A = this chain, B = another copy of it.
Amino acid sequence: MKNLDLSLYLVTDKSDDVEKFLKTIEEGIKGGVSVVQIREKTAETLDFYDLALKVKEITRKYNVPLIINDRVDVALAIDADGVHVGQTDLPCDVTRKLIGDDKILGVSASTIEEARKAEKDGADYIGTGAVFPTATKDDAPKITKKDLKDVADSINIPVVAIGGITLENAHELKDTGIAGLSVVSAIMSAENPKKASEELLNIFNS
């Protein structure tokens, strides 16, 4: 198992304003973000690649792992630290072969079966949700806190919770056995991303 600090896992949203986007990521890291995942579902490949190179400059500066969502080619092209695949992306075992053993591989899994399969197929961690209602990904399966705990208890790799996590509800995820909180809007849309990150991390660590 890789030595991964998943405690505050930032997933980015669409980068309409690149300068603001990069500034938000940097402020988030200053506030305690421990992993950054870039997720671009509609960007042209070249734009995704260019953006990922820019984000990598920041993550390298702060020594925080950079994960690319879905696009294994973009991850390899920029030599990212890892890839995150969902259930409609490349299969976990195929992805592991493409990226090799050293890179981080995360998999979205909302059931025990999916989580166990991902662990068997080479995942380093699991993202499980949505634990709360979310506008970012409204087609994500909804799960309960018990589901989350069941998934975390069923495997030996760490689980991060994702989906609608805010400063107001994050405390509800205590005692679910998770290794971290994964958020999009709670940091990307925060007026003060650094402060939001500090507060989320405080809640998680308390």
In the complex the two chains form, is B90's CB within 8 Å of A77's CB? yes
Interface residue A119 (Cβ < 8 Å from any Cβ of B): no
What are 12 residue pairs bridging A and B, where the CB atoms are less than 8 Å apart in the complex?
Answer: A44-B89, A45-B70, A45-B85, A45-B89, A45-B90, A46-B88, A49-B91, A49-B94, A71-B73, A72-B73, A72-B76, A72-B77
> Which residues, 164 to 188 on A, are CB-close (under 8 Å) to B?
none
Task: Specify the main secondary structure of chain A where it touches its partner.
Answer: helix
In the complex the two chains form, is A88's CB within 8 Å of B45's CB? yes
User: Which residues on the B side are within 8 Å of A72 (C-beta)?
Assistant: 73, 76-77
Q: What is the copy number of this chain in the assembly?
A: 2
With a 10 A CB-CB cut-off, give which of A45, A88, A91 has the most chain B CB atoms: A45
> Which residues, 35 to 50 on A, are CB-close (under 8 Å) to B?
44-47, 49
User: Which residues on the B side are within 8 Å of A152 (C-beta)?
Assistant: none
Give A2 to B125 CA distance when docked, in angstroms. Answer: 42
Q: Mark A49-85, 1 if CB is under 8 A from B, else 0.
A: 1000000000000000000001111101100000001
User: Which residues on the B side are within 8 Å of A4 (C-beta)?
Assistant: none
Q: Which residue of B is nearest A47, CB measured?
A: B88
In the complex the two chains form, is B90's CB within 8 Å of A46's CB? yes
Interface residue A98 (Cβ < 8 Å from any Cβ of B): yes
Add 17 more A-B contacts to A46-B89, A77-B94, A77-B95 (CB < 8 A): A44-B88, A44-B89, A45-B88, A45-B90, A46-B87, A46-B90, A46-B91, A47-B88, A49-B90, A71-B73, A72-B76, A72-B77, A73-B98, A74-B90, A76-B98, A77-B90, A77-B98
User: Which residues on the B side are within 8 Å of A46 (C-beta)?
Assistant: 87-91
User: Which residues on the B side are within 8 Å of A44 (C-beta)?
Assistant: 88-89
